[in-house]
Amino acid sequence: MEEKQERTFDYSSIMGQAKELATLIANSEEVERFKQAEKKISANARVQGLIAKIKQKQKQIVKLEHSRRYEEIPVLEQEIDTLQDELDSIPIVLEFKQTQQDINELLQIVTSVIANKVSENIIVSTGGDPLYNETGYPKAKPEGVNGCGSSGCGH
């Protein structure tokens, strides 16, 4: 039986493949939906007005913190929460947030697939058992097995 020869790649080859994968993701349906949703948000005066008000109040909080006028901050925080709730109730904002979640989910799945495949390849290439997630390298017996301490027991 002929032994299967594994091909190895250098760092720059791996980075080249990673860039190709990044291009595939950047051109995915998920990213296209995100760009369309972002375009709608950017063009919506109501959304942009609410975002501007939130940023203005956040700046006011920073100024109050700097001048140690902490007692005024809760009122502004409540106003920000109210503005954020209004912003979050707008359908195109919900759509935008969903597209962000979709992209994050895609990236997490891709990352997970890569990590799992690398682990599986390491285990299999060392003659290990993927079921137990262990490589095939021999393991040293830990000291003290069979009730013997570090001084030994004559087994």
Residue 120 in any domain: the answer is yes
What distance lies between CA 96 and its chain's CA centroid? Answer: 18
Predicted confidence (pLDDT) per residue in 82-134, tens digit: 999 999 999 999 999 999 999 999 999 999 999 999 998 888 888 888 888 88
Choose among 119, 117, 115: nearest CA to 135: 119
CATH, residue 60: 1.20.1500.10
Residue 72 in any domain: the answer is yes
Instruction: State whether residue 7 is helix, strand or coil.
Output: coil
Residues 6+ apart with CB under 8 A from 51: 87
**Do the Cβ atoms of 27 and 63 come closer than 8 Å?**
no
Residue 25 in any domain: the answer is yes
Residue 100 token pair: 């962000």
Residue 7 token pair: 């091909």
Find the domain containing 28 and state its range. Answer: 11-129
Report the number of distinct structural domains present in the chain.
1
* CB neighbour class for 79 (10 Å; exposed up to 12, middle 13-18, buried from 19): middle
Q: Cα angle at 18 between 16 and 23, to 5 degrees?
A: 95
Is the entire prediction scored with pTM above 0.85?
no
Residue 26 in any domain: the answer is yes
Mean pLDDT of the chain: 90
Encode 12-47: b = buried (16+ Cβ within 10 Å), e = exposed. eeeeeeeeeeeeeeeeeebbebbeebeeebeeeeeb
d(CA 113, CA 119) in angstroms, rounded, equals 10
Predicted confidence (pLDDT) per residue in 10-31, tens digit: 999 999 999 999 999 999 999 9
